[in-house]
Chains A and B, each alone.
Chain A
Amino acid sequence: MPQVAHPAFLVMGAYATYMLAGYGIDPLLAGLLLMPVFFVFGLGVYQFYYSTFEGRGSDQGLRGIAFFFGVAFIVQVGLILAFGVDQQLVDASYIGSSVEFGEMRVPQRMLVAFGVALALTAVLALYLSRTFTGRAIKAVAQDEGALRLMGANPVRIKRWAFGIATATCALAGALLIIVGPVDPNLDRLYIGRTFCVVVLAGLGSMSGTLVAGLILGIAESIVLSTAGTSWAPAVAFGILLVVLGVRPAGLFGR
Chain B
Amino acid sequence: MLRFAIGALGVLGLVAALPLVVHNEYWFFAGYVVLQLIVLATAWNILGGYAGYVNFGTGAFFAVGAYTAVALYKAFALPLGLQILAGAAASGLLGFGVGMLTLRLRGIFFSIATIAVAIVLETVVLNWHYVGGAKGLPILRPAETPFFGSYTVWLFFVMTVIAVIAVGAARYVETSWIGRGLRAIRDNEGAAECSGVPTLKLKLAAATLSGALMGAAGAPYAQYLSFIEPTSSFSLNHAVNALAMPIIGGMGHWMGPVIGAVLLGTLQQVVTVTVSSEVNVLVVGVMLVVFVVAAPEGILGLVKRWKKASSK
Residues of A184-218 contacting chain B, CB below 8 A: 188, 191-192, 195, 199
Q: Which of A192, A230, A248 contacts B119 (CB 8 A)?
A: A192
Q: How large is the interface on A (under 10, 10 to 19, 20 to 34, 35 or more residues)?
A: 35 or more
Residues of B57-111 contacting chain A, CB below 8 A: 101, 104-105, 107-109, 111
Q: List 10 A-B contacts (CB under 8 A).
A: A2-B107, A4-B112, A61-B107, A65-B108, A70-B288, A77-B278, A191-B112, A230-B127, A238-B116, A248-B109
Q: Is the CB of A192 within 8 A of B116?
A: yes
Residue of B nearest to A80 (CB): B278
Q: Is A74 on the interface with B (CB-CB < 8 A)?
A: yes
Q: Is the CB of B116 within 8 A of A63?
A: no
Residue of A nearest to B243 (CB): A66
List the one stretch of A117-125, A126-134, A141-149, A239-247 in contact with chain B: A239-247
Q: Is the CB of A71 within 8 A of B289?
A: yes
Residues of A within 8 A of B113 (CB): 240-241, 244
Q: Please report the C-alpha to C-alpha distance between residue A140 and residue B101 in the assembled complex, in whole angstroms.
A: 27
Q: Is B123 on the interface with A (CB-CB < 8 A)?
A: yes
Q: Please report the C-alpha to C-alpha distance between residue A240 and residue B111 in the assembled complex, in whole angstroms.
A: 12
Given contacts A192-B116, A230-B126, contact A73 B109 (CB under 8 A): no
Q: Is the CB of A231 within 8 A of B123?
A: yes
Q: Please report the C-alpha to C-alpha distance between residue A206 and residue B40 in the assembled complex, in whole angstroms.
A: 40
Q: Is the interface of B mostly helix, strand, loop or mixed?
A: helix
A114 to chain B minimum Cβ distance, whole angstroms, is: 26
Q: Is A252 on the interface with B (CB-CB < 8 A)?
A: no
B116 to chain A minimum Cβ distance, whole angstroms, is: 4
Q: Which residues of A contact B (CB under 8 A)?
A: 2, 4, 52, 58-59, 61-63, 65-67, 69-71, 73-74, 77-78, 80-81, 188, 191-192, 195, 199, 230-231, 233-234, 237-238, 240-241, 244-245, 248
Q: Please report the C-alpha to C-alpha distance between residue A59 and residue B116 in the assembled complex, in whole angstroms.
A: 25
Query: Can you add 4 more A-B contacts, CB < 8 Å, to A63-B247, A70-B289, A234-B120?
Result: A74-B282, A81-B278, A199-B109, A231-B123
Specify which of B105, B115, B117, B281 lies most central, judged by the most chain A CB atoms within 10 Å of its CB: B115
Q: Please report the C-alpha to C-alpha distance between residue A73 and residue B101 in the assembled complex, in whole angstroms.
A: 25
Q: Is the CB of A70 within 8 A of B104?
A: no
Q: Is the CB of A244 within 8 A of B120?
A: no
Residues of B within 8 A of A192 (CB): 115-116, 119
Q: Please report the C-alpha to C-alpha distance between residue A245 and residue B279 in the assembled complex, in whole angstroms.
A: 37
Residues of B within 8 A of A230 (CB): 123, 126-127, 134
Q: Which residues of B contact A (CB under 8 A)?
A: 48, 52, 54, 56, 101, 104-105, 107-109, 111-113, 115-117, 119-120, 122-124, 126-127, 134, 236, 240, 243-244, 247, 278-279, 281-282, 284-286, 288-289, 292-293, 296
Residue of A nearest to B53 (CB): A62
Q: Is the CB of B108 within 8 A of A66?
A: no
Q: Please report the C-alpha to C-alpha distance between residue A225 and residue B33 in the assembled complex, in whole angstroms.
A: 40
Q: Report how many A-B pairs have Cβ atoms within 8 Å.
A: 111
Q: Is the CB of B292 within 8 A of A233?
A: no
Residue of B nearest to A187 (CB): B236
Q: Please report the C-alpha to C-alpha distance between residue A9 and residue B48 in the assembled complex, in whole angstroms.
A: 26
Q: Which of B52, B127, B293 contacts A231 (CB 8 A)?
A: B127
Q: Is the CB of B285 within 8 A of A74?
A: yes
B200 to chain A minimum Cβ distance, whole angstroms, is: 15
Residues of A within 8 A of B101 (CB): 244-245
Q: Is the CB of B289 within 8 A of A74?
A: yes
B147 to chain A minimum Cβ distance, whole angstroms, is: 39
Q: Is the CB of B281 within 8 A of A241?
A: no
Residues of A within 8 A of B286 (CB): 70, 74
Q: Which of B54, B109, B279, B285 contacts A62 (CB 8 A)?
A: B54
Q: Please report the C-alpha to C-alpha distance between residue A195 and residue B112 in the assembled complex, in whole angstroms.
A: 8
Q: Which of A59, A77, A231, A244 contacts B285 (CB 8 A)?
A: A77
Given contacts A69-B240, A234-B120, A237-B120, contact A244 B52 (CB under 8 A): no
Q: Which of A58, A63, A80, A234 contacts B292 (CB 8 A)?
A: A63
Q: Is the CB of B105 within 8 A of A237?
A: no
Residues of B within 8 A of A240 (CB): 112-113, 116
Q: Is the CB of A52 within 8 A of B293?
A: yes
Residues of B within 8 A of A65 (CB): 54, 107-108, 111
A193 to chain B minimum Cβ distance, whole angstroms, is: 11
Given contacts A2-B108, A52-B293, A65-B111, contact A238 B120 (CB under 8 A): yes
